Structure 1
Amino acid sequence: MPTRYVRKEKDVRGSVDGKGWAHAMAHAADKLGEISKHRYIKEDELIELLEVLNVKVLFSNSIFTHNEDERMVLSAFITNDRGVLSEQNILSGLTF
């Protein structure tokens, strides 16, 4: 599961001066949203996916300025819309 990559990604800039788009978190979020749609993904993997998105959105030292946060939240909504996880499962993936 690519959540390991998302957890370790430190460069959350949307754009890099002189180089262009970096957008690693936005693309990772899109991929996690697509993965959450797969019919063979397990409940514990969906919880892990929500957990890593939660950590990146709420506990980042950066300010997302190029819709990265919106794309991460969209992936969380896609995961929830599967209807596989109970409310308790969803809450266990969130840490405040």
Structure 2
Amino acid sequence: MGELTERVSEVSSTSEFDSFESELTSALMRYGVPLATVSQQTLSEHREYLEEKEAGQEKEGYKSTSRPPRDSDASDDEVRSLFDDRNRCEAVVERESKTSTH
């Protein structure tokens, strides 16, 4: 049950929780595990927590924010060179694998 508690705590919204709970129920039924083995209290408590959190965010006028864009640490040419190097490495590996199998 410790793993269930850990997984439940990772769920961060009521919609995500609905999906999680549905998948959990389906898995339990598929493997013939009685629903009673799952801590209904853990599930109920986390659902209540999420509902309260979301209600508080709505009251406060919660707005999701994203991180501000950063200046790039690498130039376009530097990024291109990484892909060029990778393509060259893949080509070498491909040639080597063809010659070693023949």
TM-score by length of 2: 0.35
Greater relative contact order: 1 or 2 (C-alpha under 8 angstroms, separation 6 or more)? 1
Q: Comparing both structures, which one devotes a greater share of its residues to strand?
A: 1
TM-score by length of 1: 0.36
Q: Comparing both structures, which one devotes a greater share of its residues to helix?
A: 2
